[in-house]
Amino acid sequence: MKKKLISIILIFGLILTMSSCISLLFSTNVKLVVDKNNPAEDNATITFNGMFWVLQWNDIDILKDLYGTRGATASSNAKASLTVPSGTNKFTFTVFYYLGNVTYKYENIDMQYDLRPGRKYQVTAKHNYVGFTKVEFFVRLHDVTERKSELLREWKLGER
């Protein structure tokens, strides 16, 4: 009886360990400094959390520089962090929303914002159900420099 119990515990532990390793393989955390010559104190950091493919920064294609040859991955635990010069920055991206068995995709979305030096920003995807048949889709920009996240702006992408 003891051997059977120990075997079950070992198998369960092995399965748990393997599932953790597999999730790490599919998570993508990528970083890119877009202007290495810009002084660090004049930069801002912006992180796209989750279901984003960041395509361009200020109309410059950065997809390959950011994700490499493996390409972008849209998963809930993906992060793409960009260190950019402060000031007005424009980002072009594709965002995915997974709701049940349905995937909604918004392509080539432009987001422009005046980023301040030394600040940290986060871009997130959000959806709201409107009644029983409609869903509204948003992209949100937060300042996360301080402990408390501050919503700076929200863009409505559409509804379906």
Asked whether residue 141 carries a pLDDT value surpassing 50, the answer given is yes
Q: What mean pLDDT do residues 3-17 have?
A: 63
pLDDT tens track for 113-123: 999 999 999 99
Quote the pLDDT of residue 32.
86
Q: Are 142 and 121 in contact (CB under 8 A)?
A: yes
9 or 95: which leads in pLDDT? 95
- Which secondary-structure segment (H or E) carries 18? helix 2-26
Quote the pLDDT of residue 64.
86
Token couple for 147: 């402990």
Asked whether residue 148 carries a pLDDT value surpassing 80, the answer given is yes
Q: What mean pLDDT do residues 5-28 have?
A: 55
- Domain residue ranges of the chain, discontinuous segments joined by +: 29-159
Q: What mean pLDDT do residues 82-106 have?
A: 93
Asked whether residue 33 carries a pLDDT value surpassing 50, the answer given is yes
21 or 55: which leads in pLDDT? 55
Q: Long-range contact list for 148-157, CB < 8 A, 24+ apart?
A: 149/122, 152/113, 152/121, 153/113, 154/126, 155/109, 155/111, 157/95, 157/106, 157/109
pLDDT tens track for 57-76: 999 999 888 887 666 666 66
Supply the mean pLDDT for the chain: 84
What's the Cα-to-Cα distance from 117 to each of 25, 39, 51, 53, 91, rounded to whole Å? Answer: 33, 10, 26, 24, 17
64 or 7: which leads in pLDDT? 64
Asked whether residue 22 carries a pLDDT value surpassing 60, the answer given is no
